[in-house]
């Protein structure tokens, strides 16, 4: 039904539409099951001791320890997979070291800054099920609705957490769910149509919603993702031992529906909350009535990275008023290019006049230039530069210089001119080392252009490695739901250059420059060998464009300035500026907070000494923003002002990060003039340092 009706007719849980369907004598609407929910809804109860909603029984200490093991590595149970998936997702997003603040300043045992006796273990019940948009394309979005035992129907709240990156349904467990469950809110988690849906083509094995495996034939429509390209057999014969992934190869461009899937998760959660076994009730005729509704339940869309972008898109789409507020951190949000035109950013002595470039545009450029720009990087930056890439770029006429240092500087300058701020330089080196831009470029080129795995786009594929395609073992496949993140390199799966049959970076001395120039050409279009493919990618990018003018609920965006994965000049900064230009009260309720010495991947702070003494965890401020938003919604407390927050990293890696390192976000009246973010005309002025030096 969702392909046929506009979004304002989709909110079947809205009181107005449901009331029109009838109710009891007091006009309480019926609790009608949304058509997009698939299968039977069954709850699993967690006692908060042996197992729980938030940490799967691990608690703070378990999350800091070794990965939980399986009794049988080839056949882990659904409960074991859930436990490890929660463990993996927590540790992939946060710095889980005590020194960095885990368990002391933030974490599953923290409620409004105070350590709780429950140790992160929260009792309650959880429903996991699939939803579908019903447009004929297999989506099978996984949703988990968690209801803590502390949920108070007289003070009802719901946090909707879309997964970050391409992660599975527990991809927001350590961010949105952590805050929501500790505040007694129900939580609706969604993988937003990406998720860890892998299809091993050799064995024809797919993953089910609970993480267990099945053959594609046996799974049928219950498969999280099954590749269905017309040319799949020929491709597999030519390129054996390959893997198709949902985000890249579903042919659905799931990002265009991220906002819809967040709304669906919220609607599904409201339905679940109103089941008679929870907080709904039955009338005399035995009809299920909807007691919790949008007029008596606070709904906050909150998440980070891709989940943050999905939350903003959901609020833009939500004409029914289901969502009351949005809180996001480092959102992957791509304002429409036409809306961003004419805006500029002034940050100290730097000025950028081209804002709001698409994720694929700047990431495909990073995948080409960053291996060279990382040459000679400080060892603490975990650089993995390629002198051969620099020389190949010079031979292609793309950079110039008299020596390797000048070539690296030329590559870096191009990135600066493209809108990447100087504070991102250090973190770009690590991102290149762990192959972030390369993997994003391959995944999103396929997704935006709706290419299947058999299209062999730019001669890239995915396979178990490490250095050449290897047939997956049963143990590797069995663990993929729990250890994978939906985008290679993950769970042993790597990018493969099909021209050579080798892992992407090992394919040639210049780290497969030809493959990445092909991806770059799909972004620019000017030199693309196949203009049709470039046009398909461009069409997909247009489908995911955001419109900040449509945001009309209280919102806080928090972003770390050193973020080299989602650069501020192409995401949060132009989104904020476009929104603020509208001048209405609704637009005045969007607040933007930029945090110095913070970046995109907090986990790196706990891994590398060079990070421990340069950065603080942005997650701390995401939680603080949620605290302030909740107080605003409940009692009218002021939201934070538009500001730069000047943090102070630890002097020594062994030191404990404390609140002295992490100044609180200030309300508008208390933001000092040297920290205030301001929009004048179409120029957004960002304070360079705000009192503290930027590392």
**Looking at residue 23, what is its pLDDT?**
54
- Structure tokens of 531? 């203009």
**Looking at residue 12, what is its pLDDT?**
32
Give the SS3 label for residue 222: helix
**Looking at residue 367, what is its pLDDT?**
98
Distance between CA atoms of residues 616 and 621, nearest Å: 10
Give the SS3 label for residue 205: strand
Distance between CA atoms of residues 290 and 18, nearest Å: 9
Q: Please choose, from the candidates 188, 211, 190, 170, the residue with its C-alpha nearest in 3D space to the C-alpha of residue 58.
A: 170
- Active-site position among 176, 250, 305, 571: 305
Count the neighbouring beta carbons within 10 Å of the beta carbon of residue 71: 8
Q: Catalytic site residue 305?
A: yes
- Cα end-to-end span (Å), the chain: 52
Under 8 Å between Cβ of 454 and 235: yes
DSSP 43-102: EEEE-SSSS-TTTTT-HHHHHHSSPPPPSSTTS--HHHHHHHHHHHHHHHHS---TTTTB
Under 8 Å between Cβ of 561 and 568: yes
pTM value?
Answer: 0.94
The structural domains of the chain, with segments of one domain joined by +, span: 7-146+164-195+253-259+270-296
Distance between CA atoms of residues 203 and 567, nearest Å: 39
- Structure tokens of 322? 């289901």
**Looking at residue 608, what is its pLDDT?**
87
Gyration radius (Cα) of the chain, Å? 24
Owner of token pair 């179409």: 682
Backbone angles phi, psi at 440, to 5 degrees: -65, -45
**Looking at residue 195, what is its pLDDT?**
87
Under 8 Å between Cβ of 602 and 618: yes
Q: Could you tell me the sign of the dihedral formed by the alpha carbons of 279, 284, 287, 291, in that order?
A: negative
- The per-type count for the chain, helices as H runs and strands as E runs, is 22, 26
Q: How far is CA 575 from CA 319, 334, 561, 582, 602, in A?
A: 19, 8, 15, 12, 23
**Looking at residue 131, what is its pLDDT?**
93
Owner of token pair 């949000």: 333
The parts of the chain modelled with pLDDT lower than 70 are 1-26, 134-138, 526, 528, 583-588, 692-695
Could you tell me where the beta strands, DSSP code E, fall in 350-442?
A: 350-352
């Amino acid at each position: 039904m969702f392909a046929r009706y506009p979004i304002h007719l989709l909110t079947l849980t809205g009181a107005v539409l449901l009331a029109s369907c009838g109710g009891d004598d007091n006009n309480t609407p019926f609790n009608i099951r949304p058509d997009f929910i698939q299968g039977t809804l069954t709850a699993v109860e967690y006692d908060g001791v042996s197992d729980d909603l938030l940490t799967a029984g691990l608690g703070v200490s378990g999350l800091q320890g070794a990965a939980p093991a399986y009794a049988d590595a080839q056949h882990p149970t659904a409960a074991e997979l859930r436990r490890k998936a929660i463990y993996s997702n927590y540790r992939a997003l946060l710095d889980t070291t005590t020194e960095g603040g885990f368990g002391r300043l933030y974490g599953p045992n923290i409620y409004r800054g105070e350590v709780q006796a429950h140790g992160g273990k929260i009792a309650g019940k959880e429903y996991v099920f699939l939803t579908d948009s019903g447009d004929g394309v297999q989506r099978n979005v996984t949703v988990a609705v968690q209801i803590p035992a502390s949920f108070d129907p007289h003070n009802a709240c719901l946090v909707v957490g879309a997964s970050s990156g391409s992660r599975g349904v527990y991809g927001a467990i350590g961010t949105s769910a952590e805050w929501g469950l500790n505040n007694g809110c129900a939580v609706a988690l969604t993988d937003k149509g990406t998720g860890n849906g892998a299809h091993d083509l050799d064995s024809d094995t797919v993953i089910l919603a609970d993480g267990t495996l099945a053959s594609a034939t046996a799974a049928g429509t219950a498969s999280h993702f099954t590749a269905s390209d017309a040319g799949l057999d020929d491709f597999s014969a030519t390129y054996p031992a390959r893997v198709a992934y949902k985000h890249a190869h579903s042919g659905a461009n799931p990002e265009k529906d991220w906002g819809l899937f967040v709304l669906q998760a919220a609607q599904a959660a409201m339905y679940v909350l109103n089941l008679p076994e929870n907080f709904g009730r039955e009338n005399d005729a035995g009809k299920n009535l909807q007691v919790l509704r949008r007029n008596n339940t606070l709904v906050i869309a909150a998440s980070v990275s891709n989940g943050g972008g999905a939350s903003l898109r959901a609020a833009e789409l939500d004409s029914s008023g289901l969502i009351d507020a949005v809180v996001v951190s480092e959102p992957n949000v791509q304002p429409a290019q036409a809306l961003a035109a004419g805006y500029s950013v002034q940050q100290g002595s730097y000025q950028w006049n081209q804002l709001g470039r698409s994720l694929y545009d700047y990431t495909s450029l990073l995948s080409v230039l960053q291996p060279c720009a990382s040459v000679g990087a400080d060892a603490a930056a975990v650089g993995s530069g390629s002198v051969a890439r620099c020389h190949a770029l010079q031979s292609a006429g793309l950079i110039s210089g008299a020596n390797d240092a000048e070539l690296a500087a030329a590559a870096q300058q191009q990135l600066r001119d493209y809108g990447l701020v100087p504070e991102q330089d250090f973190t770009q080196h690590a991102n290149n080392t762990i192959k972030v831009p390369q993997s994003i470029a391959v995944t999103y080129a396929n997704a935006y252009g709706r290419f299947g795995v058999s299209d062999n786009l730019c001669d890239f594929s995915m396979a178990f490695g490490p250095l050449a395609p290897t047939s997956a073992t049963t143990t590797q496949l069995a663990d993929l739901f729990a250890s994978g993140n939906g985008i290679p390199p993950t769970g042993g799966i790597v990018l493969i250059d099909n021209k050579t049959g080798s892992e992407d970076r090992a394919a040639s001395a210049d780290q497969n420059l030809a493959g990445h120039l092909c991806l770059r050409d799909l972004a620019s279009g000017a030199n693309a060998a196949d203009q049709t493919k470039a046009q398909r990618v461009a069409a997909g990018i247009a489908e995911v464009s955001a419109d900040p003018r449509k945001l009309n609920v209280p919102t806080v965006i928090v972003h770390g300035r050193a973020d080299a994965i989602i650069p501020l000049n192409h995401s949060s900064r132009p989104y904020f500026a476009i929104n603020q230009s509208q001048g209405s009260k609704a637009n005045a309720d969007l607040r933007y907070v930029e945090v110095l010495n913070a970046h995109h991947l907090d986990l790196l702070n706990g891994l590398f000494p060079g990070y421990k003494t340069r950065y603080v965890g942005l997650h701390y401020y995401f939680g603080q923003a949620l605290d302030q938003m909740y107080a605003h919604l409940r009692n009218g407390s002021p939201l934070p002002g538009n500001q730069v927050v000047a943090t102070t990293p630890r002097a020594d890696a062994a030191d404990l990060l404390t609140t002295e390192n992490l100044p609180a976000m200030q309300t508008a009246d208390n933001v000092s003039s040297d920290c205030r973010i301001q929009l004048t005309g179409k120029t957004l002025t960002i304070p360079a340092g705000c009192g503290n030096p930027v590392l």
